[in-house]
A and B are shown apart, each in its own frame.
Chain A
Amino acid sequence: GNSVTQMEGPVTLSEEAFLTINCTYTATGYPSLFWYVQYPGEGLQLLLKATKADDKGSNKGFEATYRKETTSFHLEKGSVQVSDSAVYFCALEDGGATNKLIFGTGTLLAVQP
């Protein structure tokens, strides 16, 4: 079945450092891909999405590009802030237009001042 594999955490960075969190997927067809973020004590929030190959999703300085050839959707940010500290989940939509999400295990990001 479809699945998502995420880079294990925690990832600890200093403020203004460059961030990459790796995500690869296994799927039949070309599912939509997502990054969700979970801040402490809050529910998951959609951070960005891409619905087809070569699409780039972006939001709040974060970017991820849908790479069909490498089945990847890596999350990047050029300069992280302390407020970016959270758990980041990569996900795909299972089965096409079903709205069913399959999540990775999550990556904890800790940004130090």
Chain B
Amino acid sequence: EAGVVQSPRYKIIEKKQPVAFWCNPISGHNTLYWYRQNLGQGPELLIRYENEEAVDDSQLPKDRFSAERLKGVDSTLKIQPAELGDSAVYLCASSFRTSQSRSYNEQFFGPGTRLTVL
């Protein structure tokens, strides 16, 4: 079974340019997460989707970041314009979760996209 797929794996851009990251979750997983991992830090949640709905985007910097998950499967995270401080690894994860879930549903992570902003 394929895991979470992310592309590109690496991206180098100049500041003020736009950039987009793509994620394909594990088949059947209805919940999708985007995390940002700064160098030497743990991942921090940016946004969580349940199916097509963004149910937690409180940590997403909405002035320059946007995300979408059309049809509740693939997702795209965009930054426009990028700033030097956006250099990080962007991780996508997925899980299967029902509204009645009262226990942790394991999140499966992709390998991430390493973004360098010059």
Contact = CB atoms under 8 A, between A and B. Distances in A.
Interface residues of B, number: 27
Nearest to A91: B42
B110 to A, nearest CB: 5
Contact of B42 (A32, A49, A89, A97): A89
Give the contact-size bracket for chain A: 20 to 34
B43 interface: yes
A49 B107 CA distance: 12
Given A41-B111, A99-B97, A100-B56, A46 B41 contact: no
Secondary structure class of chain B's binding surface, majority of residues:
loop
A41 B105 CA distance: 24
A43 B104 contact: no
Contacts of A44: 43, 91, 93, 109
Contacts of A104: 42
A111 interface: no
A76 to B, nearest CB: 20
B41 A106 contact: yes
Nearest to A104: B42
A105 B41 contact: yes
B1 to A, nearest CB: 14
A97 B98 CA distance: 11
Nearest to A108: B40
Closest 7 CB pairs of A and B: A103-B42, A43-B109, A44-B109, A43-B111, A32-B104, A97-B102, A43-B110
